[in-house]
Each structure stands twice: as structure tokens, then as C-alpha cells.
Amino acid sequence: MLKKIDILIPYQDLSETLSEFPVKVHGFLMKNISPQYADELHKQDLRPYSICTLSNGKSISIHISTLTETASELIETMKKTSKIDIKGVKNKFSVEKYREYKPVSFSEIAGNNQNNKFKLSFITPASYKSSGKNCFMPDIPAYFYSVVCKIN
């Protein structure tokens, strides 16, 4: 089941944070989900979720997407959150708005597809390791080859 939530928070200067903001949001989530599930996520090679943040200078939008029912614990945790405490940021962020999207099953996606073609849009940076080195610009054939190898 694919699920997605957007969380809108007021803009704050993030120049004093020592790492990228999505990494900080990830840290917040790992501190606030069950310790057993956080440990499980840190052991996995493939992550059943993505976190993306976008800013327009007035607000920051946090997009969280999940691929499994178990990973939806991340979305449920955020729905219960009214303040987000980010390490390295002086003030907690107050959640202004949530937008939860209708969950979609994989069979619904396949059933709506008439010609077995899919369009994928990446809004989070897609990085991967190749021969032990981090690659930041996706090589589409190599990326899908890696996914297929991990599934099989």
C-alpha cells in the first residue's frame, strides 16, 4: 500500500544545522517511532519510505511517502505530532497543516494501467552505491538493475 502525507511548517533559517534538513526530519522520526521498528529500519538495505523537504521561503513542506503497511507507522507518528523538534534548530516547528493522500494499492496501479507503461517521478534525490561509491545522478538502467537484483 502506497501512502503519502505532506506536513506544512513555518519557515525558519536552517543555516546553523550541520546536515541537510531531510536528514534531521529522519532523526526526529527515528526518535519518535517504536525503538524496535527504528532498529529494524537501520538494518535494512532498502528503505520502504522517502522523506523530501521543499521550501518556498515562507514555509517548509515535508513530504513522507511509504511503500508498506509497516512503514506507515512513520505517517501515523507525524499525524500525532503538533511540534517537531529538530536538532540544531533553536525553536520547535509548529505544524500548520497536514495533507494526507488517499492510499493506493499496487493492484490498483496495475489495474489502471492499460499498456504496462508506468511513469515515475522522483522528487527526492535518488542516490545509490555502485562499487562502494556513492552516486548522486541516477543511471536509470543501473538503478533498476540494482532494484531487480535486490528483489530477486
Write down the pLDDT at residue 43.
82
pLDDT score for 30? 92
Q: Residue 1 carries which DSSP code?
A: -
- Angle formed at CA 79 by CA 62 and CA 37, multiple of 5 degrees: 90
> What's the angle, vertex CA 107, arms to CA 38 and CA 75, rounded to 5?
30
| Confidence (pLDDT) at 88 | 77
- Which pLDDT score is estimated for 78? 92
Which single residue is written with the C-alpha cell 556513492? 134
Per-residue pLDDT 10s for the chain (152 aa) are 889 999 999 988 777 675 688 888 989 999 999 999 999 888 867 788 888 888 888 899 999 999 888 999 999 999 999 999 888 787 889 999 999 999 988 777 767 666 666 666 666 555 656 676 666 655 677 767 777 777 75
pLDDT value at residue 34 = 92
Query: How high is the pLDDT of residue 95?
Result: 94
E strand spans, the chain: 3-10, 49-55, 59-66, 83-84, 93-94, 97-100, 128-130, 133-135
For residue 40, the tally of other CB atoms under 10 A from its CB is: 12
